[in-house]
Amino acid sequence: MAKLVISLAQMNIALGDVRKNVAVMEKWVVEAARRGSHLIVFPELWSTGCAWEESKELASALNSGIFNEMSAAAAQNKVCIAGSVMEKRGLEVANSAAFFAPNGRMLGVYRKMHLFRLMDEDKWLQPGQSPLSMDLPWGNTAMAICYDLRFPELFRKYAVDGAKMMIVPAEWPLARLEHWRALVIARAIENQCYMVACNAAGEIGDTPFAGHSMVVDPWGKIIIEGGDTPQLLTAEIELDVVDEVRQRIPVFEDRRPELY
């Protein structure tokens, strides 16, 4: 499968209101499937927002709670679903991006490795310890979350390991919109891959979030970009473009990691 239809669910997350957010998720998965999407991506912490003080009550263990809701939506609509939620891990909570296949099976979970101190994430959550890339029908696909965008070495590792597409759920504030746009585009260009970045939009608690969810191709061309309000974006991409770009400008062959 070289052609891939992707939807980005640019939500205005209801802070701490799992039931309300799940209702939006279910509605948008149905619509994404109606549009012929193979994959729908939700923002970072889409089911809760940054409701840190309630994190232990709102978090779900793997294979329960919110993870089961995502699995059921994937299976009922025969579509892949990705997005990050609060995961209960023993006494700790992680910011975990799960990826579900169209049969509802969870193919992987990435736990955010770089926690964002400016919003106190590090005080409430446990950082992840390992990257995640998956061999999917359309090609190797990697996961990262929001603040990870500022750490290019993670994305370079993914690209060197063969990733053709990188999925980034985010809650990126409006105050740094230009950073968001520049970093998503840069990660696509320097790694010659597709970037699929889904951000939250509008006021969540006291913070306005930037929206501008994007799919960017390996040349750095924006295939689709949202505005600053909630919306479901849908675009078709061609994964074979990755191989063409990498052959045309052989960046990975020209690297000299032994020198730096």
Give the residue numbers annotated as catalytic, written as ranges.
44, 112, 146
Tell me whether strands 165-170 and 194-199 are parallel, antiparallel or unpaired.
parallel
Distance of alpha carbon 151 from the chain centroid: 15
Residue 109 dihedral angles phi and psi, to the nearest 5°: -140, 130
Sign of CA dihedral 235, 43, 204, 181: negative
Phi and psi torsions of 219, nearest 5°: -85, -10
User: Would you give the DSSP letter of residue 257?
Assistant: G
Please give the Cα distance from 20 to 235 (Å, whole number): 26
- The one-letter amino acid at 108: G
Orientation angle between helical segments 65-77 and 18-34, nearest 10 degrees: 20
